[in-house]
DNA sequence: AAGCTGACGGACG
DNA sequence: GCGTCCGCCAGCT
């Protein structure tokens, strides 16, 4: 298996591991999986993210990607994540901030 | 082969 | 807080 496919899998696992009611940024996932760039996370999600909790992944400022905003915010609201306008308060819901490193699992 | 295109992010004004 | 610009990476044209 090529390293790229392995990374692809790690990224999927990391996203799968984001708890209900919590969120992460593309950058968080990139760091966690040591992906070369956050851009890659979006790429992977776009082609192979349908079966993942993709709605829990936001941009660095807490807003969703524009074309997804509607459904993403709706899904987040459904699991108790409150938003101010289009923006989620990362300080309150960010997985990486709330969950201690050891409990987050290694990727 | 140069250029374009993103589910991005940080720096700057 | 917001718009711009630029760096970034992989895949397509």
For residue A106, tell me if it sits in a domain.
no
**DSSP class of residue A23?**
B
For residue A104, tell me if it sits in a domain.
no
For residue A10, tell me if it sits in a domain.
yes
For residue A7, tell me if it sits in a domain.
yes
Domain residues for A54? 3-98
Q: Is strand B within 7 Å of residue A16 (CB)? A: no
Taking only the tens place, the pLDDT of each residue in A34-62 is 999 999 999 999 999 999 999 999 999 99
Q: Is strand C within 7 Å of residue A37 (CB)? A: yes
- Which bases of chain C come closer than 7 Å to a protein CB? 7-11
pLDDT higher for A94 or A4?
A94
Q: Is the pLDDT of residue A102 over 90?
A: no
Q: Give A39-98 as a DSSP string.
A: HHHHHHHHHH-TTS-GGGEE-TTSPPPGGGHHHHHHHHHHTT--EETTEE-HHHHBHHHH
Q: Is the pLDDT of residue A106 over 90?
A: no
Q: What is the pLDDT of residue A98?
A: 67
For residue A55, tell me if it sits in a domain.
yes
Report chain A's mean pLDDT, rounded to a whole number: 92
CB A63 within 8 A of CB A87: yes
CA distances to A14, A17, A39, A69 from A29, rounded to whole Å, are: 7, 10, 11, 19
Distance in Å from B9's C1' to A25's CA comes to 10
Q: How confident is the model at residue A21 (pLDDT cuts 50, 70, 90)?
A: very high
Domain count, chain A: 1
Q: What is the pLDDT of residue A55?
A: 98
For residue A16, tell me if it sits in a domain.
yes
Q: How confident is the model at residue A84 (pLDDT cuts 50, 70, 90)?
A: very high
CATH number (domain holding residue A62): 1.10.10.10
**What value does the mean pLDDT take over residues A68-96?**
95
For residue A12, tell me if it sits in a domain.
yes
For residue A19, tell me if it sits in a domain.
yes
């Amino acid at each position: 298996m090529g390293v790229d496919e392995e990374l692809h899998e790690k990224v999927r696992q990391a996203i799968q591991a984001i708890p209900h009611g919590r969120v992460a940024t593309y950058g968080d996932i990139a760091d966690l999986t040591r992906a070369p760039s956050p851009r890659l996370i979006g790429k992977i999600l776009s082609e192979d993210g349908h079966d993942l909790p993709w709605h829990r992944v936001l941009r660095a400022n807490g807003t969703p990607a524009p074309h997804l905003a509607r459904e993403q915010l709706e899904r987040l609201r459904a699991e108790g994540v409150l938003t101010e306008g289009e923006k989620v308060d990362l300080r309150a819901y960010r997985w990486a901030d709330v969950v201690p490193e050891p409990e987050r699992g290694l990727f």
